Amino acid sequence: MAEQQQASIKNEKIGQVVSTKMTKTIVVEVSRRVPHPLYRRIIGKRKKFYAHDEQSTARVGDVVRIVECRPLSKLKRWALAEVIRRAAQVAVQPAELDVKI
- pLDDT truncated to tens, each residue of the chain (101 aa)? 455 556 667 899 999 999 999 999 999 999 999 999 999 999 999 999 999 999 999 999 999 999 999 999 999 999 999 999 998 877 766 666 666 66
> Which parts of 1-101 fold into alpha helices (H)?
94-97
**CATH of region 12-97:** 2.40.50.140
Cβ atoms of residues 28 and 78 within 8 Å:
yes
pLDDT for 54:
95
Cβ atoms of residues 63 and 14 within 8 Å:
yes
pLDDT for 10:
81
pLDDT for 88:
87
Enumerate the β-bridge partners of residue 42. 35
pTM: 0.78
pLDDT for 89:
79
